[in-house]
Amino acid sequence: MAQEANQTADAEDRTAALARDGAARIEWVRTHSPVLDGYVREAVNDGSLRGKRVAVVVHLEAKTAFLATVLADAGAEVIAAGSNPRTTDASVVAALRERGMTVVADAGGDYDSWELELKAAADCEPDYIIDDGAELTMRTAEHRPDVFAKLKGVSEETTTGTARLQAMSAAGNLPFPALTANDARCKHLFDNRYATGQTTLQALLRLTNRQIAGARIAVVGYGYVGKGLALYAKAMGARTFVAEVDPVRALEAHTDGHTVGSRAEIFPQAEAIITATGGMRAIGEADIQYLAHDVVLGNAGHHDLEVDTEALAAAASNVFESRPGITSYTVGDRDLHVLAGGALVNIAGGSGHPVEVMDLTFAVQGLGVHHLASTELEPGVHILPKALDDSIAIAKLASYGITLDELRADQRDDHTARMEEGGAA
């Protein structure tokens, strides 16, 4: 009995220590999130969210946790879950539970446990979802159609999730309004480009202990994420390559100074390849033949399957851990190295996006769910109103001590002014 009591006490001590660590991490985020902790906190505290159940399903680390606390402080009943089984932080989970919040995720899980966590979140019957990749939204439709039919709104974080919601809407299967937070300028212009560009390369360098100056870095996909990756790699002295199937984006990458071509042309030259498509199997079975010996493969897109690790394992004669966070596959006479198991490398292999950028992204999400709760919107996919998007930027600029001029009357185009006022041309 004494031994069991000691073991219980030890477990409680470890949990308490984890909770203190998580609380410190969340507090660090708070002190560097002037928009979320100021302007957004004030805006959402008008009673619109009081008593509403809001499921927050984004990578469950300190920045997400702070968003959850802001919503909880506004009176929402928050359910926290993770959008990927490999990116949940144990200390953050402990801190939120210590606070009394419903958390249906645990660190160290796999895809089976993650599916159960998402179903548990759906079973909590949320009124609103702040989603990442529409993962909970889709599971709710499948697992709890009764809850799905009663959902009052979803605010979606990613390009992938936005595409999924638009497909559901086009098929007539979206009975509630959904905001594509990803399409807000204060999200994709900063989060997708600058944050992912910086933190993905930071994680790659930390995991590999390799040099980037002079290295040949290939990016698959040239949306906002791909642009940020190529921008940062080039600025750090890398020779940059882009593989893109969209001809306009490919032309843009060429004009930006990157070498553009097909996978067959680019992959054999690359020392590191980073996927940024938001789709499936950006590096798939058909591409393995083009990969050079000692190449590093990392994923900066939504799906863990952007790098097809199952195809690599099937082709390999040996699979081994060459360094912490790096799985190596021996295929013929080549060793191919995958970072963080193919999960989002900047989170699973790093610290995630910078706090300052997530202050913007989660300001969009916080105001987004508040907009859903306080505004009558038709079912379908909507974009955050420009006025709200602008207000976030204004608050961020103010936190830097920056004020802007307003357009004077004599600077306006008379024809445009008359059209805006509804007058004759």
Encode pLDDT of 285-322 as tens digits: 999 999 999 999 999 987 678 999 999 999 999 999 99
Q: Does 173 belong to an annotated binding site?
A: no
Tell me the pLDDT band of 5, cut-offs 50, 70 and 90: low
pLDDT digits (tens, 9 = 90+) for 247-273: 999 999 999 999 999 999 999 999 999
Nearest residue to 54 (alpha-carbon basis) of 145, 139, 151, 135: 151
**Angle at alpha carbon of residue 81, lines to 76 and 87, rounded to 5°:** 135
pLDDT of 421:
60
Across 348-358, average pLDDT: 91
Residue with tokens 């009081």: 50
Q: Does 301 belong to an annotated binding site?
A: yes
Strand order in the sheet with 296-299: 259-260, 239-243, 216-220, 272-275, 296-299, 334-339, 326-331, 318-323
Q: Does 224 belong to an annotated binding site?
A: yes
pLDDT digits (tens, 9 = 90+) for 312-337: 999 999 999 999 999 999 999 999 99
Q: Tell whether the model's pLDDT for residue 164 goes beyond 50.
A: yes
Across 180-205, average pLDDT: 93
Tell me the pLDDT band of 86, cut-offs 50, 70 and 90: confident
The answer to whether 152 and 373 are in contact (CB under 8 A) is: yes
Q: Does 346 belong to an annotated binding site?
A: yes
Q: Tell whether the model's pLDDT for residue 369 goes beyond 50.
A: yes
Tell me the pLDDT band of 1, cut-offs 50, 70 and 90: low
| CA 369 – CA 130 distance, rounded (Å) | 7
Q: Does 158 belong to an annotated binding site?
A: yes
Q: What is the pTM of this model?
A: 0.86
pLDDT digits (tens, 9 = 90+) for 21-34: 999 999 999 999 99
Q: Tell whether the model's pLDDT for residue 425 goes beyond 60.
A: no
Q: Does 119 belong to an annotated binding site?
A: no
**pLDDT-above-70 percentage for the chain:** 94
Domains of the chain by range and CATH? 7-187+354-399 (3.40.50.1480), 191-348 (3.40.50.720)
Nearest residue to 228 (alpha-carbon basis) of 274, 297, 164: 274
Tell me the pLDDT band of 350, cut-offs 50, 70 and 90: confident
* CA pseudo-torsion sign 104, 151, 176, 178: negative
pLDDT of 49:
97
Q: Does 302 belong to an annotated binding site?
A: yes
pLDDT digits (tens, 9 = 90+) for 98-144: 999 999 999 988 889 999 999 999 999 999 999 999 999 999 999 99
Tell me the pLDDT band of 417, cut-offs 50, 70 and 90: low
| CA 17 – CA 309 distance, rounded (Å) | 36
Q: Does 52 belong to an annotated binding site?
A: no
Q: Does 225 belong to an annotated binding site?
A: yes
Amino acid at site 39: Y
CB within 8 Å of 317: residues ≥ 6 apart:
330, 331, 332
Across 346-373, average pLDDT: 94
Q: Does 75 belong to an annotated binding site?
A: no
**pLDDT-above-90 percentage for the chain:** 84
111: part of which helix (H) or strand (E)?
helix 111-123
- For 96-122, letters b (16+ CB in 10 Å) and e give bbebebbbbbbbebeeeebeebbbbbb
DSSP assignment of 253-289, as one string? HHHTT-EE--HHHHGGG-SEEEE--SSS-SB-GGGGG
Q: Does 45 belong to an annotated binding site?
A: no
Q: Does 228 belong to an annotated binding site?
A: yes
Q: Does 345 belong to an annotated binding site?
A: no
